[in-house]
A and B are shown apart, each in its own frame.
Chain A
């Protein structure tokens, strides 16, 4: 095995050639630690790492760093998310150091949804650096042991660096180059936006493989099981950068309302099966939004259990 960059569980699972399975959890809208623990209990043992979102959709929640630290206490491995919307470079670097000091070993570097989506649309946004520069900054901190200003770091943070890719945003032709750019900046792994349009994703992965990007970086395919046709409709209309084919909405509508959740899960499971075989895909990132209690069943039916111990 090549030398590990961070030694995180996720990195070890991927480096050992296992098909990774990661989960996601939003911190509470408050300081309700019990609620967070309850959500995490469903993920424990069923995933390799859990993304702790950072004020996702620009709605204020408990900080992702605190959520990640609480997750470690619960015996799970966090993938600490950081957006460029809410912090300048000083706050980012200090939080990265803090996160590492608290035992966090994976982080996901994101631009962040615009604040107009959230519950404080009057807020000022920061965007001192963008997600590409954040990736490069974390890499510099880790590999060179230096801050952005080239000063030495006393004990550099060794993070396994993640980034997002959305093959369904426009312009499509550019998306694979943007992915290449993130890898060049220093991304060790990628988690994609939720995939629903499989045809487009197959094409995207073909382009990715043709460029050899899958050999430089682990690519985890994003999956979100639909709870019902209404959710599919809503996401299609109101979530930017989502590509939900009519055929999927039709398929969900085609069954009784009470069976739509099962149909959504079936579609997700079919996706996981295909991703297991798809060239260039190193794992699945399962985003069961506010549906954490379904993850054990999904993981079991997806035949990804038990999770490897490495």
Chain B
């Protein structure tokens, strides 16, 4: 899923400083799963903003709404009747949400309440880790099922570099050196030869480097399915 972290209350308050009537929109997708922008978090942010504004002696009128998904026009349409009644709208979805909203409602101003960080999952309660960088050409089977593009600080295809120490990455001791894990796994499996030899330079054309990406499913476009 897409993982995000909420921005600080101060930052959010500063974004909508001059606005009185505010709509806070959450999302039931990824940000609900990573406890950042679902129903619960929307209510928490709304009441925190009310308290802060009250303390500062400033008026605020906040409504909340949680959409099924903000990355889907069908659901985004559900707020069409009320969206322009507000001075500003804050989205608690990943970066996709406020963009779908901005595209649908050109008159309104939408602010992101979260910082979208990575594609990953929870490794323990309350901890999420990155797993994929969306490079567009998946090759993890070549690396023991572990992705060096997303998980090595230098995206090395031939690691580990000279900074790998005790299973940790050179950038800090809290970061796993994924190449250490790849090598150890391959050694245990007696498949070290898979890592030897020189892999050709990766094509980054399918990654962000090739420009904004688009996925077209012809059968769906033609309405056959």
Contacts and interface: CB of A to CB of B under 8 A. Distances in A.
Interface string B178-199: 0010011001000010011111
A98 B200 CA distance: 24
A241 B199 contact: no
A25 B145 CA distance: 41
A107 interface: no
Given A111-B156, A171-B180, A137 B165 contact: no
Contact of A170 (B153, B156, B160, B200): B160
Given A174-B187, A181-B197, A169 B161 contact: yes
Q: What interface size band does chain A fall in? A: 35 or more
B130 to A, nearest CB: 16
Given A174-B187, A184-B197, A130 B156 contact: yes
B158 A240 contact: no
Contact of B154 (A130, A133, A164, A166): A130
A240 B68 CA distance: 47
A94 interface: no
B201 A133 contact: yes
Contact of A164 (B162, B184, B197, B204): B162
Contacts of B154: 84-85, 111-112, 114, 125, 127, 130
A123 to B, nearest CB: 13
Interface string A221-253: 000000000000000000011000000000000
A262 interface: no
B112 to A, nearest CB: 20
Interface in A146-185: 148, 164-166, 169-171, 173-174, 177-178, 180-181, 184-185
B199 A133 contact: yes
Contacts of A180: 196
Contacts of B183: 171, 174
B158 A132 contact: yes
Nearest to B183: A174
B41 interface: no
B171 interface: yes
Determine the main DSSP class of B at the interface with A.
Answer: loop
Q: What interface size band does chain B fall in? A: 20 to 34
A116 interface: yes
A125 B161 CA distance: 15
B198 A169 contact: no
A148 B165 contact: no
Contacts, number: 100
Contacts of A171: 160, 164, 180, 183-184, 187
B46 interface: no
B162 to A, nearest CB: 3
A114 B164 CA distance: 12
Nearest to B177: A170
Given A114-B171, A184-B198, A241 B163 contact: yes
Interface in B150-176: 153-167, 170-172
Contact of A114 (B153, B192, B199, B202): B153
A131 B187 contact: no
A177 B167 contact: no
Nearest to A174: B183
Nearest to B167: A170
Given A174-B187, A177-B192, A127 B197 contact: no
B192 A127 contact: no
Contacts of B204: 128
A65 B202 CA distance: 26
B2 to A, nearest CB: 21
Interface in B73-115: none
A188 to B, nearest CB: 15
B162 A169 contact: yes
A128 B162 contact: no
Contacts of B160: 169-171, 174, 178
A181 B158 contact: yes
B192 A148 contact: no
Contacts of B177: 170
21 contacts: A84-B154, A114-B154, A114-B163, A116-B171, A116-B172, A128-B204, A130-B155, A130-B156, A130-B159, A132-B158, A133-B201, A148-B201, A170-B160, A170-B166, A171-B160, A171-B164, A177-B195, A181-B196, A193-B162, A240-B163, A241-B170
Interface of B: 153-167, 170-172, 177, 180, 183-184, 187, 192, 195-202, 204
Interface of A: 84-85, 89, 111-114, 116-117, 125, 127-133, 136-137, 148, 164-166, 169-171, 173-174, 177-178, 180-181, 184-185, 193, 240-241
